[in-house]
Chains A and B, each alone.
Chain A
Amino acid sequence: QLQLQESGPGLVKPSETLSLTCTVSGGSISSSSYYWGWIRQPPGKGLEWIGSIYYSGSTYYNPSLKSRVTISVDTSKNQFSLKLSSVTAADTAVYYCASSVAVAGFDIWGQGTMVTVSS
């Protein structure tokens, strides 16, 4: 059974770069079946897709965040990562990693990790 787990700092200073890692267990990140994605949810608000990556390294980003986002994959560690630069308080959110079979929805989710942007 595929499982995902987010990790990274819970507090980031304004203007700095938010960095999170998602560790995949119970399956290979190199599987051609899956896309790996990041989704966030500000407190009390809805879901926002940040971006997705295929094991080959192909990336797809939300246009509204594209200039600040980098998603990468490390097949040797079975992990994929999110970097969001120049953060502000508006980037405070629960960040989820998730897997999707192409366009058939995100079927496996991590538990989420709260990231607060504050000095």
Chain B
Amino acid sequence: DIQMTQSPSSLSASVGDRVTITCRASQSISSYLNWYQQKPGKAPKLLIYAASSLQSGVPSRFSGSGSGTDFTLTISSLQPEDFATYYCQQSYSTLLFTFGPGTKVDIK
């Protein structure tokens, strides 16, 4: 099974900060990596698919990069509505998906 890790597990940041979250796979997953945002009490929202493709309707301050085992989600200028938990998810194994443990972004 492919295992996913994320770092950090949590971070504190201010509005306007540039935020970077890292996701690592236990083996190469090419670019089969998706990112989600989840706010308390709400369903997750797809932000990025295929490592770097922005989902329709998602603000351009969100971007994704990476391939193989190491991936990054970047928020270029953190906005108040961006405080949430972020999850990566691999989709390399044919429909055998795995989520990362999550990174909580809160207000500094």
- A residues sitting closer than 8 Å to B (CB atoms) are 35, 37, 39, 46-49, 52, 60, 62-63, 96, 98, 100, 103-107, 109-112
Contacts and interface: CB of A to CB of B under 8 A. Distances in A.
A105 B89 contact: yes
Interface residues of B, number: 27
24 contacts: A46-B87, A46-B102, A47-B36, A49-B89, A52-B95, A60-B94, A60-B96, A62-B96, A62-B97, A63-B96, A96-B43, A103-B92, A103-B95, A104-B49, A104-B50, A104-B53, A104-B91, A105-B34, A105-B55, A105-B91, A106-B36, A106-B89, A109-B45, A112-B43
Contact of B101 (A35, A46, A100, A107): A46
Nearest to B96: A60
Contacts of B91: 100, 103-105
Nearest to B38: A47
B32 A103 contact: yes
* Chain A interface, DSSP helix/strand/loop, else mixed: strand
Nearest to B95: A60
Contacts, number: 65
Residue of B32, B38, B53, B97 contacting most chain A CB atoms (<10 Å): B97
A100 B97 CA distance: 11
A109 B55 contact: no
Interface string B28-57: 000010101010000111101110010100
Nearest to A104: B49
Nearest to B100: A46
A98 B1 CA distance: 22
Contact of B46 (A63, A96, A106): A106
A25 to B, nearest CB: 16
B34 A47 contact: no
Contacts of A98: 43
A106 to B, nearest CB: 6
A96 B36 CA distance: 14
Contacts of A62: 96-97
